[in-house]
């Protein structure tokens, strides 16, 4: 792990979760574990738990802008984007990330695993049109990849590869389509100009926040100067270790 005083600064942009099982609270912890310091831009405040999303407050665009302004002098080495609630937040973040000159990792969280939505159809269209072209790598799960790519299904290696290629054709530098919800196989598909399939034995466990953890580990590795493929391998290993060691807390299984 990088010594804290020398650790690069990663700006996490997204939404809060009361449990810190996902969202910005988990980002701060995971980035520290992966050798980075965190700066935050809050785009939304959620009330969610294992049963789903109960309430969502969208931070006004001018407040999001002001947070970026407050970080103008920060030596940000990478950005990590999570849930952006609504078209205004998506457009504001996309505008602020134009030509930043550092890696941008985007985990397109469309809603909590327990149910509910952060974005609607118009939000997904805004993501594809405005945000995807600003991003170094996008890390969607199967449903997110299907919606971003406009596919009828995304549930095997072939359709995962098609989704990844489509997302890159829309302007992303790379796409890592996560297959953790596949019924029989545990595999991810990376397209960064070349196609690579990662497949390992399935861990017989579930945990909230795996997408957040992967994006955090990716952003920290890129901020520390690792190549994209090195960062992907390191992030996948980090998440698998977290799943294997997760803790039961109340009604949820969370990262330790």
User: Taking 70 as the threshold, does the pLDDT of residue 212 lie above it?
Assistant: yes
Structural domain boundaries in the chain: 4-254
How large is the average pLDDT for residues 23-48? 97
pLDDT at 204: 64
Q: Is the model's pLDDT at 2 over the cut of 60?
A: no
Superfamily grouping for domain 4-254: Ribokinase (3.40.1190.20)
pLDDT for residue 249: 47
State the pLDDT at residue 199: 86
Contact 202, 235 (CB under 8 A): no
At 200 the pLDDT is: 77
**Mean pLDDT of all residues belonging to the chain:** 91
Q: In the predicted model, what is the mean pLDDT of residues 32-42?
A: 97
Residue 69 has pLDDT above 50, yes or no: yes
Q: Report pTM.
A: 0.93
Whether pLDDT at 87 is above 70: yes
The more confidently predicted of residues 200 and 2 is: 200
Q: What is the pLDDT of residues 167-183, one digit of tens each?
A: 999 999 999 999 976 76
Quote the percentage of the chain above a pLDDT of 90.
79
pLDDT value, residue 47 = 96
pLDDT-derived band of residue 114, with 50, 70 and 90 as boundaries? confident
Is the pLDDT assigned to residue 83 strictly greater than 60?
yes
Q: Give the confidence band of 1 by pLDDT, cuts at 50, 70, 90.
A: very low
């Amino acid at each position: 792990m990088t010594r804290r005083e020398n650790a690069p600064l990663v700006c996490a942009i997204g939404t809060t979760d009361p449990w810190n099982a996902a969202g910005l609270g988990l980002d701060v912890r995971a980035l520290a574990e992966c050798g980075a310091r965190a700066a935050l831009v809050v785009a939304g405040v959620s009330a969610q738990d294992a049963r789903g999303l109960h309430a969502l407050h969208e931070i006004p665009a001018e407040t999001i802008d002001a947070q970026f302004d407050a970080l103008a002098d920060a030596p940000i080495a990478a950005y990590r984007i999570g849930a952006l609630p609504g078209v205004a937040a998506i457009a504001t973040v996309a505008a602020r990330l134009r030509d930043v000159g550092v890696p941008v990792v985007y985990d397109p969280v469309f809603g909590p695993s327990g149910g509910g939505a952060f974005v609607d159809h118009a939000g997904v269209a805004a993501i594809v049109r405005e945000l995807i072209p600003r991003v170094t790598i996008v890390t969607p799960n199967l449903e997110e990849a299907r919606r971003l790519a406009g596919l009828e299904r995304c549930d095997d290696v072939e359709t995962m590869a098609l989704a990844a290629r489509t997302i890159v054709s829309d302007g992303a530098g790379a796409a890592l389509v996560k297959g953790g919800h596949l019924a029989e196989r545990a595999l991810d598909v990376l397209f960064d100009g070349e196609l690579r399939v990662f497949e390992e034995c399935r861990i017989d466990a579930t945990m909230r926040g795996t997408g957040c953890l992967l994006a955090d580990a990716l952003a920290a590795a890129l901020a520390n100067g690792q190549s994209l493929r090195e960062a992907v391998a390191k992030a996948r290993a980090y998440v698998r270790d977290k799943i294997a060691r997760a803790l039961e807390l109340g009604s949820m299984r969370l990262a330790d």
